[in-house]
Structure 1
Amino acid sequence: MKHLCSAFSMQQVISVWVRDPRIQKNDFWHAYIDYEICLHTDSVCFTKKISRVRRRYSEFVWLRQKLQANSLLMVHLPELPPKNPFFSLNNARQINNRMKGLQKFLEQVLQNPLLLSDSCLHLFLQSQLSMHMIEACAAGRTHYSVTQAVQRCGLRRFHSEEDLQNNLKFSCDSDSDSSKGRDSEHRIKPLAASSPDLMGTS
């Protein structure tokens, strides 16, 4: 598969969008924003040709660090939008700028054949696994494979192997909205009216 990715990635289409920011509340005092990542492709590098997942900024930071480590510094990775200590969940301009920066980051990552062979990238883009479980799955420390995690994604994030095993008997359509079942989420339209005045490091 790595050779196929290297040979065909430049000829095939990989389109990615980062959109639909939503406020997720852990509790009254703690909230963050996550974003929907939509991927459409005809590339042989991807098990799924259409997928949607939701990820937050700190998970993008984790992904960049992991890709850098896995590539053994052979690749100069694009930068993420900078972390802003004054990032506000009520500031639509800040959110929009961050969202554009995250999309640009993914677009540049997906142009690199070496990075396309990284299992962590595929699990980040096309599974509901948490970062901890992505590491375990990519390292072969789970009973399910990377392909199984991508193909049998659930409508919620899996934090343990038992979670995913319990869900493997159910398959989900690749176009399903991974945000279903999140009772605490709020769409940011209009932003100021949908949430209290919260500051988030997201």
Structure 2
Amino acid sequence: MPQVVSVWVRDPRIQKNDFWHAYIDYEICLHTDSVCFTKKISTVRRRFSEFVWLRQKLKANSQLMARLPKLPPKNPFFSLNNSQQITERMKGLHRFLEQILQNPLLLSDSCLHLFLQSQLSVSKMQACAAGRTHYSVAQALQRCSLRRFHSEEDLQKDLSMSCDSDSDSSECTDPELRNKAFPTNKADGAASSDLVGTSQEKTISCSCGST
């Protein structure tokens, strides 16, 4: 039987570093029954620069054996107040992940799993994938997909907490995903004034072995 991997990129939000600096991040929801993923439901938020990092790592790790899809182009005139530009970028990021998840070779890359199912920063994802952290990739995926850890001590504290369940049921807090495992496709629309984009879905198959 084909294994299902459904991914959504949606809900762009403006995040402020300080009064002068801000950026937009996007919610990535993953729902799968694939043996390639330990977690079957997850939700994280990522910004465009993190997508750029992911593509660079996948390209380096695959050693050009996999043809990687392109990210939406950088726009020097990109505006946080332009809902059309934000929507187009979000759609491009969604297409990028869809194509990545169709490639069995890339599904074995730990950087991809950390990107999709943890909220570790780029530097911590890179260190974890290289084995330079006190926690493994599996431990990072198990415990840190709901929030960013401000320090390694925070992660160690979470890892020390006993939990008998898989905790997947608490991963995706969006009511739409709780009520409907696989939402029906919706027509593409422009982002609303509050920058909440429409959800997108595409069901794809992957023929891969266990990680």
Under TM normalisation by the shorter chain, which class is it? 0.7 to 0.9
Aligned pair partner of 2:31 in 34, 40, 56:
40
Write the deviation string for residues 122-169 of structure 1: whole angstroms up to 9, x where unpaired.
000000111111111111111211111111125421254323112224
Indicate the residue corresponding to 1:29 in structure 2. Answer: 20
Indicate the residue corresponding to 1:61 in structure 2. Answer: 52
Aligned pair partner of 1:116 in 89, 93, 107:
107
Indicate the residue corresponding to 1:3 in structure 2. Answer: none
Indicate the residue corresponding to 2:42 in structure 1. Answer: 51
Does structure 1 conserve the Cα–Cα contact (< 8 Å) formed by 2:50 and 2:122? Answer: yes
Cα distance, 1:120–1:22 mapped onto 2, change above 3 Å: same
Aligned pair partner of 2:90 in 80, 84, 99:
99
**SS of residue paired to 1:125:** helix
Does structure 1 conserve the Cα–Cα contact (< 8 Å) formed by 2:14 and 2:24? Answer: yes
Question: Is 1:190 the equivalent of 2:193?
Answer: yes
CA distance in 1, matches of 2:104, 2:146: 29
Amino acid at match of 2:27: E
Amino acid at match of 1:137: C
Cα distance, 1:91–1:64 mapped onto 2, change above 3 Å: same
Indicate the residue corresponding to 2:157 in structure 1. Answer: 166
Indicate the residue corresponding to 2:172 in structure 1. Answer: 175
**SS of residue paired to 1:51:** strand
Question: Is 1:75 the equivalent of 2:66?
Answer: yes
CA distance in 2, matches of 1:154, 1:97: 26
CA distance in 1, matches of 2:80, 2:159: 35
Does structure 1 conserve the Cα–Cα contact (< 8 Å) formed by 2:25 and 2:48? Answer: yes
Does structure 2 conserve the Cα–Cα contact (< 8 Å) formed by 1:16 and 1:37? Answer: yes
CA distance in 2, matches of 1:41, 1:154: 15
Does structure 2 conserve the Cα–Cα contact (< 8 Å) formed by 1:35 and 1:99? Answer: yes
Gaps of 5+ in 2: 175-190, 196-211
Question: Is 1:133 the equivalent of 2:124?
Answer: yes
CA distance in 2, matches of 1:154, 1:12: 22
Deviates more, 1:121-130 or 1:138-147: 138-147
Gaps of 5+ in 1: 1-7, 178-187, 193-202
Provide the aligned length of Structure 1 versus Structure 2: 173
Does structure 2 conserve the Cα–Cα contact (< 8 Å) formed by 1:59 and 1:131? Answer: yes
RMSD in angstroms over aligned alpha carbons? 1.9
Q: How many angstroms does 1:53 deviate by?
A: 0.1
Aligned pair partner of 2:78 in 87, 90, 103:
87
**SS of residue paired to 1:75:** coil
Indicate the residue corresponding to 2:148 in structure 1. Answer: 157
Write the deviation string for residues 39-74 of structure 1: whole angstroms up to 9, x where unpaired.
000000001000000000000000000000000111
CA distance in 1, matches of 2:150, 2:73: 28
